[in-house]
Structure 1
Amino acid sequence: MTDSGRLVGYLPANQVGRLASMRTDEDSWDINTGVGSTALFVAAARALGGRAHDAPATDPFAELFVSAAGGEWADLLAGRVPDHPLLTPDFGAQFQQHQLARTRYFDDYLRTAVTSGIRQIVILAAGLDSRAYRLPWPDGVTVYELDRPSVLEFKHRTLTSAGKQPLADRREVAVDLRGDWPNALRGRGFDAAQPTAWLIEGLLIYLTPAAQDQLFDALNTLSASGSRAAIEQMDPLPADTAAALAADDTAGAEWVRLIYNEPRDEATAWFAERGWTGERISLPAYIRALGSVPVGDDEHRQSLIDLVTVVKS
């Protein structure tokens, strides 16, 4: 969802006040509030960054989502908000680069997974992910998308209104990941005896360390031999950075309230202890592997992010 505590400070003005409450175990959100609203900010970054002729990834559906949200989101894409932070040469360029790089990483991961024969894809906290609609899926692939009902409803309504159809057997699983999502997933036809490709993008920082481990435990239990998982993970913000954000007069403090900025198990090591093999790469290193150079003066913050792929023996 984001790679820095600056995100909320850069949300359109009509969204900022909606992020003000502290996270609780029972908090709720939709596409315009709380954690859900960050998906629109990220979709806007994908839409804007994907316009470049040399963009490492493109997501034409991102523009549909942002336009459907209306208001200042639609104004941004139409060029009516020239001073928007996503258009700045420092933060905006860096944030767009982050989103396009991780999009490319996970797109390539899924292409490799289905080439290996996997036919079950599970996207946790799917948000405004459009891969079921835009990747060239072979026959027999089922894509399960898990998220809150209101988020999935917004996506379905937007794409249906635009006449878009998924290119795989897409199955929505309307569930809060803090609940019994494994049972809900099985109820939609998921077969734990078959290998699965899991996708965990922009999620972990919004879970407590304990909830992250519970999610990993469930994923491990549901994964047959040959399954794989791709994960975006972020190290905690340094204490002084987090404290400065919390005391900031801007809305940067609100983003800190949405995350759990605590030490947590590193994903590659966690899965290795349970018989998975894997590798990780830092976001700046991956950007360079794509033939680009990290932009702006914020590479240190980008270096907090790793992209991980693990495979179950």
Structure 2
Amino acid sequence: MDGARLPPVGRTAVGVAALRALESGRPDRLFDDPYAGAFFHAGRALFEGRQRRDGSLGAVFAQQVAIRTRYYDEFVADAGQVVILAAGLDARAFRLPWADGARLYELDLPEVLEFKDFVLNEQGARARCARTVVPVDLRADWANALLEAGFDRTRPTVWLAEGLLVYLSRDEAERLLIDVTALSAPGSRVSFEHRPEGAADGLLRRARAVGSEVTDLWQGGLGPQAPEWLNDHGWTPETVAVADLAARYGREPEDRTRGGFVTATRRG
């Protein structure tokens, strides 16, 4: 299975896996993902004839992906119930040390999860927590599918929407987060990318200057108003800039804009 059946958005996960493999090979790596290289090898045919364009895009996003992965590794640490929205080729269920009794749900399109599990099975990977995959389209009725899979809405949950919202329209992003809110017990947390300068953000402008099938898929999500939206819907948000995280992790910041992440806690 070579990833040829992956939908366009799902194919971006192969590129992210390549960047995670690159970071994992560094002596000063911020994390170790032993499966990232296998994902990229299995899906690399998707990049034939597009190496120069997507390779340049990879150079733009390499540090962003490294810092984002490390930050979200820390975000889910010690969580009891985790939902990864648009899980892609995320391997946290297999590479992180989870607390006893931790339960993780991975939501994504059926083709993406099928490709992912094929590669993981080839690698002999074994989950280190109770892992449940839920094949869904997050633009449709995914909440009921999650509940039917055993999700406990009375239990505080960590929601991770890594690299997702930019591919959704504002209406789609709002519907998704309204469902997340409805399923979140007090004390639940959610996090995703946040760029207070919107389309003017330096990283996004650099990416669009390269041009690729990836940037053509961007729709903007909630845009710069994400913290305000979360606050208005029962969450207490906080933001952190990639530049500040780079300094914390011992990396020289590459992007001087204020882009980073928003993390919010569900109020009681």
Q: 1:141-177 deviations in whole A, cap 9, x for unaligned?
A: 1110000000000010110111111111110100000
Q: Which residue of 1 aligns with 2:200?
A: 238
Equivalent residue, structure 1, for 2:136: 175
Q: Spell out, residue by residue over 1:236-262, the C-alpha distance to the aligned partner (whole angstroms, 9 max, x if none).
A: 3239x999998x8x8x26434311147
2:175 & 2:169 partners in 1: Cα distance? 10
**Alignment-derived partner of residue 127 in structure 1:** 88
User: How far has the Cα of 1:94 moved from its partner?
Assistant: 4.7
Q: 1:263 to 1:279 in 2, by over 3 A?
A: closer
Report what 1:275 is aligned to.
Answer: 234
Deviations 1:185-219 (A, max 9, x none): 00100011111000010001100001111111111
Aligned residue for 1:45?
Answer: 19
Rounded to whole Å, the distance in 1 between the matches of 2:266 and 2:85 is: 18
The answer for the alignment partner of 1:10 in structure 2 is none
Given residue 281 of structure 1, which amino acid in structure 2 is its aligned partner? V
CA shift in 2, pair 1:68/1:280, >3 Å: same
Cα offset for 1:220? Answer: 0.7
Q: 1:139 to 1:263 in 2, by over 3 A?
A: closer
Contact 2:227–2:237 (CA under 8 A) maintained in structure 1: yes
SS at match of 2:199: coil
Q: Is the 8 A contact 1:196 1:224 kept in 2?
A: yes
Q: Deviations over 1:28-60 (max 9, x none)?
A: x953x4111111111101101221111222211
Moved more, 280-289 or 37-46: 280-289
Secondary structure of residue in 2 paired with 1:266: helix
The separation in 1 between residues aligned to 2:205 and 2:238, in whole angstroms, is 32
* Corresponding residue for residue 310 of structure 1: 264
Q: Structure 1 residues 39 and 253 mapped into 2: Cα distance closer, same or farther (>3 Å)?
A: closer
Contact residue 199 and residue 205 of structure 2 kept, 8 A? no
Taking the aligned partners of 1:156 and 1:129, their CA distance within structure 2 comes to 11
Number of residue pairs the alignment of both structures matches: 261
The CA deviation at 1:308 is: 1.6
CA contact (8 A) 2:12 2:214 kept: no
**Would the alpha carbon gap of residues 270 and 161 (structure 1) be closer, same or farther in structure 2, given more than 3 Å must change?**
same
Amino acid across the alignment from 1:194: R
Give the alignment's TM-score, normalised by structure 1: 0.75
Residue of structure 2 aligned with 1:290, choices 234, 238, 249: 249
Residue among 59, 73, 81 paired with 1:107: 73
CA offsets, 1:97-125, max 9 Å, x none?
111100010000111xx2xxx42100000
Runs (5+) with no aligned partner, structure 1: 1-14, 16-28, 75-80
Instruction: Give the partner amino acid of 1:168.
Output: C
Equivalents in 2 of 1:242, 1:229: separation in Å? 23
Distance 2:158 2:9 in 1: 24
TM-score normalized with structure 2 length: 0.86
State the alpha-carbon separation in 2 of the partners of residues 36 and 286 from structure 1.
Answer: 27
1:12 — aligned with what? none
Conserved? CA contact 2:85–2:108, under 8 Å: yes
CA distance in 2, matches of 1:243, 1:230: 23
Q: Per the alignment, do residues 135 and 164 of structure 1 end up closer, same or farther by CA in structure 2, a change over 3 Å counting?
A: same
Write the distance in 1 (CA, Å) between the matches of 2:219 and 2:178.
19
More displaced 10-residue stretch of structure 1: 149-158 or 56-65: 56-65
Find the structure with the greater CA-based Rg: 1
What secondary structure is seen at the aligned counterpart in 1 of 2:229?
A: helix
1:73 positional shift: 6.2
Distance 2:204 2:231 in 1: 30
- 1:217 paired residue number: 178
Higher relative contact order (CA 8 A, sep 6+): 1
Query: Between the two proteins, what is the percent identity of the paired residues?
Result: 38
CA contact under 8 A between 1:236 and 1:262: conserved in structure 2?
no
Counterpart Cα distance in 2 of 1:39 and 1:154: 11
Query: Which of the residues 150, 158, 161 maps onto 1:189?
Result: 150
Cα distance in 1 for partners of 2:194, 2:134 equals: 23
